[in-house]
Amino acid sequence: MKNFKKFFSIPAGWLPHIVRIGLGLGVVCLFLLHSNHVVKLPLLDSAEGSLYDWRLRATMPADIYDKVVIIDIDEKSLKEEGRWPWGRERMGDLVRKLTDRYKVKVVGMDVVFAEPESQYSMKIIERLSRNEEVQSKEMRMLLNRLQPLLDGDRAFAKKMQGRDVVLGYYFKQEGHMEEGIQAGKLPPPACDLAQAAEQGMQPKVASGYGANLPLLQDAAAGGGHFIPNVDSDGIIRSIPLLMSYQGKCYEALSLAILRRMQNAPRVIVEQSGDAWSKFNLHVGDLQIPVTANASALIPYRGHQGSFPYVSAVDVLKERVEFRKLEGTVALLGTSAAGLLDLRATPVGSAYAGVEAHANMIAGMLEGEVKKTPTAIAGMESWLLLVLGLIVSVLLGRAAPMQVMWLALAASALLTIANLMLWIGPSVVMPLASPLLLIGALFVLNMSYGFLSEERTKRLYKDRFGQYVSPEVIEEMIANPQLLESMEGTSRNMTVLFSDIRNFTTISEGMEPKQLMRMMNEYLTPMTRLIIDKNKYQGTIDKYIGDAIMAFWGAPLFDEQHAQHGVLAALEMQQLAAQLTIQFKAHGWAEIHIGVGLNTGSMAVGNMGSSFRRAYTVLGDPVNLAARLEGLTKEYGVGILVSESTRDATTGIVYRELDRVRVKGKGQAVSIYEPVGIAADVSAEQQSLITQFEQALKHYRAQQWDEAEAILQSMPKKDAVLVKLYMKRIAEKREHPPGQEWDGVTSFTTK
């Protein structure tokens, strides 16, 4: 059971990361629901369209494609030939000039001739024919001969016969206010709808149409619809190359023109076998990748003007160079004011509709139609899932700056991979949703990180503000993993106790307010010295009356904790001397402090009761440090450190004072007085250290006379230490310790 709980337990410090990762996965789920059309996020659709447009504009050839020519009904044509619409016979002349004189391959009409031409002369003849007063046989024969000569529709149809002319018409889609109308005659179906359905393709369904006069459609070589797909943002990016109406399959104008160029009797729907696009339309020698509803992306080549424009009147009057039109596809369109068929496209907000057909024809001829994977929703879902899991986990464990760089790197790699697919196999993969997913996860993690950092700052300031310097707190905030030590851990550390000598006597002679002021002026600089980030990086544990308890090695790891502790103790002695001068100026008593330090493995963390807790250290090494502080008075020195502390420092000169066994400890320890930094210790001081060590050596060897002789020659500043050992020598002369004596002094009081 214990192992079971341990297996499912959350490691300390992991909970915030798990929360961040969980929130990130929630965002991933939202994006997955959108990609599978369960929820609608309009921002993603709009962004996807914008990024598609950006990729298109960044990679389009932006050249002039001269295999498709726009026959432009421009201002010049209207000025010379009169207002639009022109007479049907004139349109027939235009067709004849293009095919017979200029040898164009196919003429495409982005115009619908849905109604009979209305001519005043024809109306007069029809009226005369019905007039009973016109009884003359000769008159009736004359009227019958004139009628076909003045019939513009018939003349137009006659001039189209035998020539490659493709007329345009429009479909009405379901939901349109005019759905269900049937005007004119549709051209023959382009492909077998049943065969397309067998392949798994389902073209869009039309609910009505507006087509050309039966006379004209029968005379033309073909017909195609010019209904585009309009995206939710109003931009035309694709067209349905095939549409279904009443169980039959009809082609777009551009596809009908291509089929005439290829002399292909039918459009064949086939599965491509391509990993990127499931369906192809087989037209002669060409294959066009399409989606499951037979739509294709328009491969815009550039901004308006990417195809040659030729004035229609110049064609009629044969003012155009022959080579400019020979062998081309001629599309009839208009740039005249008031006649413009303008559409919003990725390459222009007011783009001539006829050029959209020209781009589609050019793209199919050159094999530049982009592929859209049939299973794009599934591919997008997998991409979002894998990307979301990786990014959520990485960002959930990263620091703020790492979050930013990871997000930028992931976005850059994703964009590069997407562009490689766009340029290489011509595949259009979603870009907005994964980029916005990364962006959303970035914002989420940065926001969470900011709120968490603020919370962590408050937590650290609340719990450590009285213990360590603000700089240390900032470093802890930058390294949140250090928070683990608050829950309790074992570390090798150094602990310090300091105490004002004779504080009871000092306090008895002072007013409470004066005493509080003196303690504040004492504790403030001492605390500042201990916690100074640039010097000693210590942590204040607590104040015990006039005593200070501090430690090194937590909450921040400090490999030089013993070094910092001893150096701080040396400077504390210097500071105490400076404070004594200030205190005398206030009329206060002199102060002298004793400091004890010990190094060892101790417990550190947030400890206490359910009512109150404190960040502190516990353990046997802590108790020894407290005992050493008490022994400073016994030996008449300012600082005492243990052997373990001495061994953990470098560059500091020590004087061994004794080997002791303090109350509560069975093991004896050597104790030392730190004299100073090696570079600052004079030869005289070094000589005195050697002198005392010789005395200590004789003392432990029970050579009382030799030890006593050396002690008597020591300076007055060591009077307490000399007196202590002289007293011990006298006692041991009177009561010899015996040969088993180990030189250890045992203390039975604190």
Instruction: Label residue 678 exposed, middle or buried (CB < 10 Å: 0-12, 13-18, 19+).
Output: exposed
Q: How far apart are CA 552 and CA 492, in angstroms?
A: 9
Q: What angle do CA 278, 284, 285 make, to 5 degrees?
A: 75
Hey, what amino acid is at 550? Answer: A
Q: How far apart are CA 675 and CA 694, in angstroms?
A: 17
Q: Cβ(489)–Cβ(603) under 8 Å?
A: yes
Q: pLDDT at position 460, please?
A: 61
pLDDT band at 8 (very low <50, low <70, confident <90, very high): very low
Give residue-wise pLDDT tens across range 595-646. 999 999 999 887 877 677 777 899 999 999 999 999 999 999 999 999 999 9
Q: Directed axis angle between helix 470-478 and helix 432-464, to 10°?
A: 150
Q: How far apart are CA 292 and CA 486, in angstroms?
A: 61
Q: How far apart are CA 465 and CA 37, in angstroms?
A: 52
Measured over the CA atoms of residue 261, residue 263, residue 269 and residue 270, the dihedral's sign is negative
Q: pLDDT at position 140, please?
A: 55
Q: Cβ(640)–Cβ(657) under 8 Å?
A: yes
Domains contained in the chain, CATH given:
2-40+375-455 (no CATH), 68-113+164-171+187-204+212-366 (no CATH), 465-481+488-681 (3.30.70.1230)
Residue 281 in this model has a pLDDT that exceeds 90: yes
Average pLDDT score over the chain: 84
Q: Cβ(349)–Cβ(406) under 8 Å?
A: no
Judging by DSSP bridges, how do beta strands 106-109 and 165-173 pair with one another?
Answer: parallel
Residue with tokens 């040898």: 103
Q: How far apart are CA 107 and CA 119, in angstroms?
A: 26
Residue 227 in this model has a pLDDT that exceeds 50: yes
Q: Cβ(159)–Cβ(93) under 8 Å?
A: yes
Residue 479 in this model has a pLDDT that exceeds 70: no
Give residue-wise pLDDT tens across range 197-217. 888 899 999 989 999 999 999
Token couple for 663: 């109350």
Average pLDDT over residues 656-667: 85
Instruction: Label residue 357 exposed, middle or buried (CB < 10 Å: 0-12, 13-18, 19+).
Output: buried
φ/ψ of residue 510, rounded to 5: -130, 150
Residue 424 in this model has a pLDDT that exceeds 60: yes
Nearest to 602 by CA among 571, 584, 623: 623
Q: pLDDT at position 5, please?
A: 41
Give residue-wise pLDDT tens across range 156-170. 999 999 999 999 999
pTM: 0.60
Q: Identify the residue with better confidence: 555 or 546.
A: 546
106: helix, strand or coil? strand
Instruction: Label residue 729 exposed, middle or buried (CB < 10 Å: 0-12, 13-18, 19+).
Output: buried
Q: How far apart are CA 400 and CA 449, in angstroms?
A: 7
E-state strands within 121-247: 165-173, 182-183, 204-210, 222-225, 229-230, 236-240, 242-245
